[in-house]
Structure 1
Amino acid sequence: MNDLADLLTPDGRALLDEVRDTAPADELAVATRLRREHPAALVSAALGQARLRQRAAAKFGAEDAARMFFTPNGVEQSTRATVATYRAESFRKLGVRSVADLCCGIGGDAIALARAGIAVLAVDRDSQTCAAARANAAALGLGDLIEVREADVTQVDVAPYDAVFVDPARRAARQGGGRGRIFDPEAYSPPLSWAVATARTAPHAALKIAPGIPHEAIPAEAEAEWISDAGDVKEAVLWFGTAPGRMRATLLPGPRALVGRGLPDPGVRPVGRYLYEPDGAVIRAHLVAEVADELDGGLLDETIAYITADEFRPTPYATGYEITDRLPFNVKKLKALLREREVGVLTVKKRGSAVEPEELRRKVMPKPYGKAAATVFLTRVAGAPTMLLADPVRPPR
């Protein structure tokens, strides 16, 4: 049985509508009831698809996810819609009218590109994945702009297209089941070297890569961009045909872009009144110096990306905290302080500390002491293990 093909039939679509809002706890009862009137395999496929759609709502929004078709890997590996929309708009601003989307998956990026008015050739080698991408283009009314082709991406002629987008697989099957991340760019499928060679043949190109890519692996002619969405780093992208050698951190929503200026590493300075925690995209892009310069601040420690300053300056690229206490690392002292201040909600953040936040939380606050909230940073100050208690600063509106 081809699950997706059967779900695309009138009976399959009707069954999908019926099980759309089924809660996990109710699946067994619903399946038992529906199997009296429908083939068991179709019922299982519909319930499985409903489960995937519920998971996908966080990435695609409830309205689109309820109409789309997914595979388990497709939900996990698809680009978040906010990020895909931002990238599609970047292509549009470059004057791109057609894109070869290689390793298209279930079509998340292709959908965003088409909605930006760009014609897309979406290519993947997996037949079930291609079927989902084709169904999604049709379901969202984008079939005229998206051509889905089942093929080996390394055999596709990209010359007719204004731009190339490559999203290579970065997960491998684990022994015993499941999939794990791949950290070696040459272990991507296809390898990063192939994607770079292909990008060099196109007027414009974007290669989606893991945020942890070593900077030394970035080609000299590429612009590297790290993207975070609501403070969570989602991906890195190598752009070709834009600004060779430039480093950029982009924060969504917005977008807000911080561009590298080649500043030297910021110096270490004494702990000031404020601590700033740079956005993850800023840290990955090695642009902490640019933020420190904006804040007239310095580092707590030369190896740690926490910035300190004497005055507060709001910035979208870092979260500001007002430091209330500075203590050498000592569990008993922290526990006593939290009890004294009747803390009931404790946030633990760390950089440069081997202590696990959950373990520390259990030790210092086995039960809530009150209703107050506190944030503690486990870090180093000039090499010494240190605890900094701080309150988030809420800039005036």
Structure 2
Amino acid sequence: MNDAASPSPHLAPLLGDEGQALLAALRDYDPGQELAVATRLRREHPAELVSAALTQARLRQRAVAKFGAEDAYRMYFTPHGVEQSTRASVAAHRAGRFARLGVRSVADLCCGIGGDALALARAGISVLAVDRDPFTAAVARANAEALGLADLIEVRCADVTEVDTSSYDAVFVDPARRGGRGRIFDPEAYSPPLSWAIGAARAPGYAALKIAPGIPHEAIPEEAETEWISDHGDVKEAVLWFGTAPGARRATLLPSGAALVGRGLPDPAVRKTGRFLYEPDGAVIRAHLVAEAAEDLDGGLIDGTIAYITADELRPTPYATAYEITDELPFNLKKLKALLREREVGHLTVKKRGSAVEPEELRRKVKPSGPNAATVFLTRVAGAPSMLIGAPAAPAVR
């Protein structure tokens, strides 16, 4: 299904036999030795080809964290693409949702290097992948070929605002959220603007619009379901879904796929610190679903403005990490230092929420030393600066 456009001149040499051999030879090279490696390779290969291969080798090494070694070392990247592309696990989750909705074709607008298009194709969905940058589109096309998915992915270099998507079951839009000065916080400064992307998402039966996880809730359209996604506890993105569950809020935790859906609960009550403290996953906090997590745990908040849940009972949950609390003290570094010394704590994990003290600053001042481990929470309890000391109560269920 790919169009017949030829590869970018910056990419084409790497796709030939000589370029492929160079990339294979550079798979495990040490970037710290790049000058020596480049000098040696330029004795046998054109300098431009060596430079292009070294660039791809570096990018592939960086991309392993997002795509896994098996795919990353077959794919092609741009520096921006490595930074901004969707993590493979997140893309696979989204593609799975599309497939379960019965979607068979998707227009992937602002496709970048094709990470989402690849996941959609692997879910059996045919994809039109569109990007306005010729080199980026060439990289996306090369990735479809490299992973054996070219029959399901058509890559088109075009302005997404001029593409007719009416023949597709669904649209996926991933606007650029970085500019020349870094991250863009104004949704109308996205490329294309959020308002255009929402308009495009409203047209088909289903649509997903990738947005920054910090988007203000008041900026979310009423007809959209909003899903915040974390992977191994790290919030990766938010998605506006159209055609699914208008107004719903969902926190999805990968790799398990556990999903907490809003039930419209009021804020949890503030209560005394119990035996256990639960730290909600970032996706739960971003989705404003701490109340739902607290209800499931029969817990309350330690402070009305702090997203820490306290409870007297330990319950397994995928939506928060549990800690058993042994001590609650007013904020006082001398007392903390004395307590840690008494318990021979040398492995100190510092967490903070609602405190101006930086973890490294605290470690320097208390100078932990000894064979034991502990976790200290710098926070507020019922409005008062406090320190809670404890340890993980059970492994997090992700």
Which TM-score band (shorter chain)? over 0.9
CA distance, structure 2, for counterparts of residue 396 and residue 382 of structure 1? 26
Q: Could you say which residue in structure 1 is the equivalent of 2:134?
A: 127
CA distance, structure 2, for counterparts of residue 50 and residue 9 of structure 1? 16
Q: Could you say which residue in structure 2 is the equivalent of 1:255?
A: 257
Q: Normalising by structure 2, report the TM-score.
A: 0.96
Which runs of 4 or more aligned residues in structure 1 lie more than 4 Å from their structure 2 counterparts after TM superposition? none
Cα 1:395–1:191 shift into 2, 3 Å:
closer
Pairing 1:216-255 to 2, within 5 Å after superposition: 216-255=218-257
Deviates most, 20-29 or 270-279? 20-29
Structure 1 position 31 matched with structure 2 position 38? yes
Pairing 1:1-397 to 2, within 5 Å after superposition: 2-174=9-181, 180-365=182-367, 368-394=368-394
Tell me which amino acid in the other structure corresponds to 2:205. Answer: P
Question: Do the aligned partners of 2:106 and 2:168 also contact (CA within 8 Å) in 1?
Answer: yes
CA distance, structure 1, for counterparts of residue 257 and residue 388 of structure 2? 31
Q: Cα deviation per residue 1:141-187 (whole Å; 9 max; x = unaligned)?
A: 0000000000000000010000000000001112xxxxx11111111
* Number of residue-to-residue matches in the alignment: 390
- The percent identity for this pair of structures is 78
Q: Cα deviation per residue 1:294-325 (whole Å; 9 max; x = unaligned)?
A: 11111000001001011111111010101011
Deviation at 1:386, TM superposition (A): 0.1
Tell me which amino acid in the other structure corresponds to 2:221. Answer: P
Deviation at 1:336, TM superposition (A): 1.3
- Residue aligned with 1:3, SS: coil
Question: Do the aligned partners of 1:327 and 1:388 also contact (CA within 8 Å) in 2?
Answer: yes
CA distance, structure 2, for counterparts of residue 107 and residue 25 of structure 1? 29
Deviates most, 44-53 or 336-345? 336-345
Q: Cα deviation per residue 1:64-104 (whole Å; 9 max; x = unaligned)?
A: 00000000000000000000001000000000000000000
Q: Cα deviation per residue 1:180-210 (whole Å; 9 max; x = unaligned)?
A: 1111111111011001111111100000000
CA distance, structure 2, for counterparts of residue 190 and residue 39 of structure 1? 39
Tell me which amino acid in the other structure corresponds to 1:370. Answer: G
Question: Do the aligned partners of 2:322 and 2:396 also contact (CA within 8 Å) in 1?
Answer: no
Cα 1:396–1:93 shift into 2, 3 Å:
closer
Question: Do the aligned partners of 2:321 and 2:395 also contact (CA within 8 Å) in 1?
Answer: no
Question: Do the aligned partners of 1:3 and 1:42 also contact (CA within 8 Å) in 2?
Answer: no
CA distance, structure 2, for counterparts of residue 70 and residue 291 of structure 1? 39
Question: Do the aligned partners of 1:170 and 1:181 also contact (CA within 8 Å) in 2?
Answer: yes
- Residue aligned with 1:339, SS: helix
Q: Could you say which residue in structure 2 is the equivalent of 1:177?
A: none
Structure 2: segments with no counterpart, 5+ residues? 1-7
CA distance, structure 1, for counterparts of residue 28 and residue 323 of structure 2? 41
Cα 1:216–1:325 shift into 2, 3 Å:
same
Question: Do the aligned partners of 2:318 and 2:396 also contact (CA within 8 Å) in 1?
Answer: no
* RMSD (Å) for aligned C-alpha atoms: 1.2
CA distance, structure 2, for counterparts of residue 292 and residue 25 of structure 1? 48
CA distance, structure 1, for counterparts of residue 140 and residue 349 of structure 2? 41
Deviation at 1:2, TM superposition (A): 3.2
Deviation at 1:358, TM superposition (A): 1.1
Deviation at 1:396, TM superposition (A): 11
Structure 1: segments with no counterpart, 5+ residues? 175-179
Question: Do the aligned partners of 1:283 and 1:305 also contact (CA within 8 Å) in 2?
Answer: yes
CA distance, structure 2, for counterparts of residue 160 and residue 358 of structure 1? 55
Q: Could you say which residue in structure 1 is the equivalent of 2:3?
A: none
Q: Cα deviation per residue 1:330-352 (whole Å; 9 max; x = unaligned)?
A: 11111111111111111110110
Deviation at 1:290, TM superposition (A): 0.3
Deviation at 1:3, TM superposition (A): 2.7
- Residue aligned with 1:61, SS: helix
- Residue aligned with 2:11, SS: helix
Q: Could you say which residue in structure 1 is the equivalent of 2:5?
A: none
CA distance, structure 1, for counterparts of residue 170 and residue 269 of structure 2? 41
